[in-house]
Structure 1
Amino acid sequence: MVNLSVNINKIATLRNARCGNIPNVLQVAIDVQKFGCQGITIHPRPDERHITYKDVYDISSVITTELNIEGNPTEKFMNLVLDVKPSQVTLVPDSEDVITSNSGWNTFLYQDFLTDKIKKLKDYGIRTSIFLDPKPELVPYAAKTGADRIELYTGYFAIGYEDKKWNCIDIYVDTAKIAVDNHMLINAGHDLNLDNISFLIKKIPYISEVSIGHALINESIYMGLENTIQSYLKKIHKVLK
């Protein structure tokens, strides 16, 4: 089973463009769960340019599936997630000025830093995941931090797939195998869409969760939100049958 976690940051971006409450982020969180996804992903950033800290509290109150909160583990972020206690926290090494997450942790250099943050999260019973580039050599250091999972940054895969460079998946397969050998589960996210999702899961069938936001929200403009979510679920389940 590969779970689909829908990232609703782009819904908040659209709402914030007009400083009102349309679209209603809370209602979208309720609806996408009703439409069949197995989780909600949100990424509150320090400047609150999409998901706000208030949104985090509001959304956490309507979660009936799983809530995954992504972010750089600053003191403010850690205080937030330890208060909310989501199902999962995904640690991402974002600087404040990036438009979107575009790289993973160097777990060799940041092993001690991540170990400290992950211990605090696990003391509160929160599942932890480390955002990681497809680099097999970094996985053992990720495992040493005590994290439960890695989330593969799939931006490089998406570019390679679009250019029909099918061997782009090889380094991801190698990284995933090392993660399994180190008793870690695997998530994946960034630039996944209806065109490339099946190929990814076919090549790495032991992925536990995919987090998809930007493409899914854009595809839903044409297809409708419920139809788009169902399309993802059908592609995921078809590969795994």
Structure 2
Amino acid sequence: MSSLLTAARGAARTFARTAGALALDAANGSLRAVEAVGDKVRGRESTPGVLRVHVVILSDANGPLCRPEDVRPALDRAGEVLEAEAGIRVRITGVDVITAPAPPEALDPRANRGLLLDDILGRTSFYLDHLPQRVLGLVGAPVTVVVVREISGRTTGCSLGISADWVITQASLYDRAAEHSYDETVLAHELGHALNLPHHRDRGNLMFPVSSPPKDLRGTALSGWQAAILQASRHVVPGVGRDTPAG
């Protein structure tokens, strides 16, 4: 009975959090649309929006799973892609290394439905305890990238889906010496999920579900509708309209 009650409470908590996040996304998207129309009427252009990203690197008994500098190329790549394809600048708010060994369920999490179920059952509490923001769901709150040891199944990155506040990525993604796992596109791909993008069937698209280094990496393109969804996310601080310089 207690396990059923825990699951019911967890499901209600997850549903309420997701519903609240989607409501904020809808409100933010509507506001962005109104501002865009207003800027166009006034002949103004908007500065890029800003996405704050925080990184948390876990440790096992052997120490940190990777170094902060190992993650930097993937962060830089995500910033380049999102600014070029969606007009969003990535701002790194910090890279934290948790030196105390994480519990096994945090080091080697399940993926997809398994991760969602674990979140409902409270098994992702270690991640939540180390998020930088104390109140989740606020507009402009960062997306936290948690670096774990290994994700079950044939995946190296995962999120809870739409409107997620955190995503997980496997440490091997950031090891340049491991050519069959090093992949700078995964972090940007998972940020896309956190900002409400579904998978895309075009291999040249950032949201293509499969990327196989070193020779068969997914692309990094985004379509116009994908850019609009990203810009509407509650995680993105809108740009500011400014007058277009006289030509």
Q: TM-score, normalised by structure 2?
A: 0.31
What is the TM-score normalised by the length of structure 1? 0.31
- Bigger RCO of structures 1 and 2 (CA < 8 A, at least 6 apart): 2
Structure number with greater Rg is: 2
